[in-house]
Chains A and B, each alone.
Chain A
Amino acid sequence: DTAVSQTPKYLVTQMGNDKSIKCEQNLGHDTMYWYKQDSKKFLKIMFSYNNKELIINETVPNRFSPKSPDKAHLNLHINSLELGDSAVYFCASSLPGGDGELFFGEGSRLTVL
């Protein structure tokens, strides 16, 4: 039973398209995140939601729009995809309170051609 699951695992698309990545966690956590990992494995936080409320919004282009329909789901929609959006996107969740332990999904590899 996967704790944090993301779909799709792989996504290949053309520049200019719009795509979504979905994330669900069954851990009962209140807080969820999106991280971007580039080709050099560098990880950077994009967004964080706590109980459906946006709490962290890093300097991400507004082509990226997160949506949290409930606290178990955090989806990432990307408009007008660009070559530089190619990366692995990781969803994660955690308990509130800040002990720093995040539970990550397996990642969604996005390739923009």
Chain B
Amino acid sequence: GNSVTQMEGPVTLSEEAFLTINCTYTATGYPSLFWYVQYPGEGLQLLLKATKADDKGSNKGFEATYRKETTSFHLEKGSVQVSDSAVYFCALARGAAGNKLTFGGGTRVLVKP
């Protein structure tokens, strides 16, 4: 079956530090890949996505590249802010059930001033 594995948190950083959150997946065929973000007390919202190999998704300074050869979709941001403190979820969607997302376990990120 489909699965998503992401690094466990919490990840604690200082402002302006570089952030990487690793995500790898297992799926048959060619899934679409997503990063969702959950700010404290809120629901999840889509951060970025990539639908085919070598695509790069980007938004709000975050980037992730769909790497089919390593089945990975690592999230990066060059300079984090306190407002980036949140839980980040990697997810995949596959095939006819394209909106049936399989989520990773989430990674909590805490950015300190």
| A and B found bound together | yes
**Interfacial residues, chain A to chain B (CB-CB below 8 A):** 4, 31, 33, 40-45, 48, 56, 90, 92, 94, 96-107
Chain B residues, Cβ within 8 Å of A96 = 99
Interface centre among B45, B87, B101 (most CB of A within 10 A): B101
Indicate if the CB atoms of A98 and B89 lie closer than 8 Å.
Answer: no
**Interfacial residues, chain B to chain A (CB-CB below 8 A):** 32, 34, 38, 41-46, 49, 51, 87, 89, 91, 93, 95-101, 103, 105-106, 108
User: A36 CB to closest chain B CB, in angstroms?
Assistant: 11
Counting from the closest, the 5 A-B pairs by CB-CB distance are A98-B98, A104-B43, A100-B93, A41-B106, A43-B103
Indicate if the CB atoms of A98 and B96 lie closer than 8 Å.
Answer: yes
Indicate if the CB atoms of A100 and B98 lie closer than 8 Å.
Answer: yes
Contact with A90, one of B44, B97, B108 (Cβ below 8 angstroms)? B44
Chain A residues, Cβ within 8 Å of B32 = 98-100
User: A41 CB to closest chain B CB, in angstroms?
Assistant: 4
Q: List 10 A-B contacts (CB under 8 A).
A: A4-B43, A43-B89, A43-B106, A45-B101, A97-B98, A98-B97, A99-B51, A104-B44, A104-B45, A107-B42
Indicate if the CB atoms of B105 and A42 lie closer than 8 Å.
Answer: yes
Indicate if the CB atoms of B43 and A99 lie closer than 8 Å.
Answer: no
